[in-house]
């Protein structure tokens, strides 16, 4: 596979007078045939091995912790694994051997831990559903892929396809409720699946009662939503304290008599300002599961910090022992765990301190909350994760791990805890530790992965132009005396955080492997945790004038470049930038605004016109009251790379899958046409039918090969 250069440019002025007839040649174009596997590149030794890291994701446990399950992934091959019994010896449930681009997600146990269900296919991190509910087809197969529910016995036996559907919920008797195109279906053992009941809403969040006889769900009605209970074909749906609000995050009481859920105001009222943050009040309600009567047992304070949490996974509401409800909120400026009596009362802060709580699970007996947090005693712990537990009725957190490693997603497992463990050099692997904090061991054989070329990233900090302290990780392999080129990596989200080691998200473990490889090729790589990200408190996560409101986070990117230019080993005239999604947005913004600083960039599926995104997601108010819509639309545009394309001179590699359901492919089409008009040199790498987070390993490999070749060609002597 070869790339063909189109035009050598000597100046923007010449190209602007000739662009009308030369536009088709302004790009270095590479549209990949989807079935063309990436061949090893002899010019990039070790890249394939660097990207062959094993990954453990979606770790989940049965209610009492008798069984655990997870998705193992390596080189694009995904499989379901389970473990149970006294020693929790892993057993492979599925037997996939292909990089087929089909997700395995939505793992769900029966309460007794004897059965498991999961979903094959789909795009479960998308911002919108594809037209016609078409499922991703990244391999461009001639048969239409389908989203399907599967099940298996934990003790053994072959997996069985249940039906087309999503989001399964399983009972001890083997009944599986699932969602198909927003409606609820049921698969009874030995019977043909059928639609369970009629509801005009878009149904989700299925949850069986503890006895497995009733099914609770959320019915989304657009500007409001209800929590309902289905009790049988001869009884109408019971709605729990219906209102004009938006109800979700439901959880049954252990005795099955009540349901708790969160409530937020429904859409409506006078237009809220788009150019400034507004309070997002919420409350926790408890309703009788027989009558539907309910009342608020806790309401958020009328402060910005009391707003509904925007941390990933939301408030993680749980019904704990002692008839207490636990949840996550940011009332002290950090995402923390709280506890409140289910009958109502003041919320008790369980995890005080300047750190973030993430990945929360309830112990089998309901007396403890297990969680990960970026809290500890080692330097740089704000850029790591460790596991903790805390009683549900008092502020007495206990650390279960510490040090320079990273640990996350703790779940109950027998008389101990299972979790994922990694270090700066060792990729994610499944571990177990006793409840007494003794006997830590790996579950299963240690994955084989070459670590000789990996460096231990260094935690660094620097100040943005407005004085805000910014954190990052510097990848810098030992080299010769000559100054080296440098790269800035900007993550997506933006509610994400890059760590001092492998990430708990596959997308960012991939980025970590790439940063390691680029460092091994002689680049100094600085991964920047810019404002808008998580891990440093609510004020950092909700900065003023950020994103479409003014792009204040770009100050952090420029500050990162200045930091690199101040390093003695770095050639300050050879700095590049790369990133995906929101990181693609910041990459394009850097190239458009500061081509003198950023000499080249790689833009993975980036947003290039924020005003277009604002219009597509919200649209102008369909009423007389317009609020600050016009001003917000203008600010969104001026916060976008396309607003500064006239000063864009540096070359860029644009990478995008055309079935992207998070950032529309049209964003890259639009930018390419604008670069044509300006005579800016760019290259394209387009993946037909791929989504945002590429589903096939071979597509990642092709993209990474092109990335390294492009950056080395542009930035190395």
**Would the pLDDT of 2 be above 70?**
no
Residue 377 has what pLDDT? 74
Which strand (E) or helix (H) includes residue 693?
A: none
Residues 269 and 292: beta-carbon distance below 8 Å: no
What percent of the chain is modeled with pLDDT above 90?
A: 87
Indicate the burial class of 227 (C-beta count within 10 angstroms; 0-12, 13-18, 19 or more).
buried
Residue 4 has what pLDDT? 27
Residue 380 has what pLDDT? 77
Buried b / exposed e across 29-40, counting CB within 10 Å, b at 16+? bbebebeeebee
pLDDT of 469-522, one tens digit each? 999 999 999 987 889 999 999 999 999 999 999 999 999 999 999 999 999 999
- What 3-state class would DSSP assign to 588? helix
User: Average pLDDT in the 695-707 region?
Assistant: 98
- Of the candidates 585, 502, 490, 558, the one whose C-alpha atom is nearest the C-alpha of residue 529 is 490
Residue 19 has what pLDDT? 31
For residues 203 and 225, give the distance between their C-alpha atoms in angstroms, rounded to a whole number: 10
For residues 7 and 99, give the distance between their C-alpha atoms in angstroms, rounded to a whole number: 37
What is the length of the chain?
717
Residues 350 and 390: beta-carbon distance below 8 Å: yes
Residues 639 and 616: beta-carbon distance below 8 Å: no
pLDDT band for 452, please (50, 70, 90 cuts).
confident
**Would the pLDDT of 683 be above 70?**
yes
Q: Which residue has the higher pLDDT, 171 or 6?
A: 171
Beta-carbon contacts of 446 under 8 Å, excluding residues fewer than 6 positions away, are 429
pLDDT band for 28, please (50, 70, 90 cuts).
very low
- Of the candidates 589, 692, 574, the one whose C-alpha atom is nearest the C-alpha of residue 641 is 589
Residue 15 has what pLDDT? 30
pLDDT of 583-602, one tens digit each? 999 999 999 999 999 999 99
What percent of the chain is modeled with pLDDT above 70?
A: 95
Residue 165 has what pLDDT? 97
User: Average pLDDT in the 622-629 region?
Assistant: 92
Residue 717 has what pLDDT? 67
Class of domain 12-51+450-715: alpha beta
**Would the pLDDT of 570 be above 50?**
yes
For residues 497 and 459, give the distance between their C-alpha atoms in angstroms, rounded to a whole number: 13
Beta-carbon contacts of 519 under 8 Å, excluding residues fewer than 6 positions away, are 455, 475, 476, 477, 525
Sign of CA pseudo-dihedral 707, 101, 79, 582: positive
Q: What is the distance, to the nearest Å, from the Cα of residue 51 to the centroid of all Cα atoms in its chain?
A: 19
Please state the pTM of the whole predicted model.
0.93
In Å, what is the CA distance from 71 to each residue of 191, 394, 419?
29, 34, 13
For residues 54 and 73, give the distance between their C-alpha atoms in angstroms, rounded to a whole number: 6
Q: Which residue has the higher pLDDT, 535 or 377?
A: 535
Beta-carbon contacts of 709 under 8 Å, excluding residues fewer than 6 positions away, are 41, 43, 44
**What mean pLDDT is reported for the chain?**
92
Hey, where are the domains in the chain? 12-51+450-715
Token output for 399: 């650390």
Least confident of 27-36, 309-318, 329-338, 415-424: 27-36
């Amino acid at each position: 596979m070869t790339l063909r250069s189109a035009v050598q440019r000597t100046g923007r002025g010449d190209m602007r007078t000739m662009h009308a007839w030369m536009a088709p040649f302004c790009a270095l174009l590479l549209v990949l045939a989807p079935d063309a596997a990436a061949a090893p590149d002899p010019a990039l030794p070790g890249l394939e091995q660097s990207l062959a890291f094993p990954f453990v994701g979606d770790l989940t446990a049965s209610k009492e912790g008798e069984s655990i399950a997870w998705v193992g992934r390596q080189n694009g091959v995904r499989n379901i694994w389970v473990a149970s019994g006294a020693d929790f010896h892993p057993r492979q449930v599925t037997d996939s051997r292909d990089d087929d681009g089909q997700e395995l997600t939505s793992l769900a146990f029966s309460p007794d831990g004897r059965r498991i269900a999961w979903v094959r296919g789909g795009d479960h991190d998308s911002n919108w559903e594809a037209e016609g509910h078409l499922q991703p087809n990244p391999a461009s197969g001639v048969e239409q892929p389908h989203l399907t529910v599967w099940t298996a016995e934990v003790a053994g036996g072959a997996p069985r396809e249940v039906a087309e559907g999503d989001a399964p919920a399983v009972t001890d008797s083997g009944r599986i409720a699932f969602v198909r195109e927003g409606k609820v279906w049921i698969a009874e053992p030995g019977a043909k699946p059928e639609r369970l009941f009629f509801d005009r809403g878009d149904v989700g969040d299925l949850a069986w009662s503890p006895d497995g006889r009733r099914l609770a769900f959320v019915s989304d009605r657009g500007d409001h939503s209800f929590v309902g209970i289905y009790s049988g074909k001869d009884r109408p749906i019971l709605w729990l304290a219906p209102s004009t609000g938006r109800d979700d995050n439901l959880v049954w009481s252990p005795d099955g008599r009540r349901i708790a859920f969160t409530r937020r105001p429904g859409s409506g009222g006078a237009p809220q300002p788009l150019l400034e943050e507004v309070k997002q009040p919420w409350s926790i309600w408890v309703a009788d599961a027989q009558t539907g009567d309910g009342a608020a047992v806790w309401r958020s304070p009328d402060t910005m910090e009391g707003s509904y949490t925007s941390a990933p996974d939301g408030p993680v509401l749980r019904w704990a022992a002692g008839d207490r409800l636990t949840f996550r909120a940011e009332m002290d400026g950090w995402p923390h765990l709280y506890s409140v009596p289910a009958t109502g009362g003041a919320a008790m802060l369980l995890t005080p301190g300047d750190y973030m709580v993430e990945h929360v699970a309830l112990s089998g007996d309901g007396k403890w909350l297990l969680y990960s947090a970026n809290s500890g005693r080692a330097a740089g712990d704000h850029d790591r994760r460790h596991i903790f537990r805390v009683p549900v009725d008092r502020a007495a957190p206990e650390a279960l791990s510490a040090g320079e490693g990273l640990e996350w997603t703790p779940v109950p497992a027998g008389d101990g805890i299972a979790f994922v463990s990694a270090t700066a050099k060792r990729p994610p692997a499944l571990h177990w530790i006793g409840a007494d904090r003794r006997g830590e061991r790996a579950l299963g054989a240690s994955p084989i992965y070459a670590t000789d070329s990996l460096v231990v990233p260094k935690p660094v900090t620097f100040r943005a132009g407005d004085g805000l302290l910014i954190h990052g990780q510097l990848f810098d392999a030992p080299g010769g005396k000559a100054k080296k080129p440098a790269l800035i990596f900007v993550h997506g989200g933006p509610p994400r955080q890059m760590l001092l080691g492998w990430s708990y998200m596959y997308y960012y473990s991939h980025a970590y492997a790439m940063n390691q490889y680029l460092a091994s090729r002689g680049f100094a790589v600085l991964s920047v945790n810019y404002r808008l990200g998580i891990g440093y408190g609510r004020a950092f996560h909700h900065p003023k004038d950020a994103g479409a409101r003014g792009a204040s986070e770009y100050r952090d990117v420029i500050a990162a470049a200045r930091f690199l230019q101040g390093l003695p080993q770095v050639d300050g005239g050879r700095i590049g930038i790369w990133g995906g999604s929101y990181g693609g947005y910041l990459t394009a913004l850097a190239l458009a605004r500061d081509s003198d600083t950023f000499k080249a960039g790689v833009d993975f599926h980036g947003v290039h016109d924020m005003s277009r995104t604002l219009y597509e997601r919200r649209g102008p108010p369909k009423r007389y009251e317009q609020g600050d819509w016009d001003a917000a639309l203008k600010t969104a545009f001026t916060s976008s790379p396309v607003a500064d394309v006239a000063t864009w001179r540096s070359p860029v590699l644009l990478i995008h899958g055309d079935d992207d359901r998070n950032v529309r492919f049209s964003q890259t089409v639009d930018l390419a046409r604008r670069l044509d008009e300006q005579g800016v040199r760019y290259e394209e790498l387009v993946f037909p039918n791929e989504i945002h987070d590429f589903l096939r390993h071979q597509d990642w490999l092709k993209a990474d090969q092109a990335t390294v070749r492009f950056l080395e060609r542009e930035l190395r002597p």
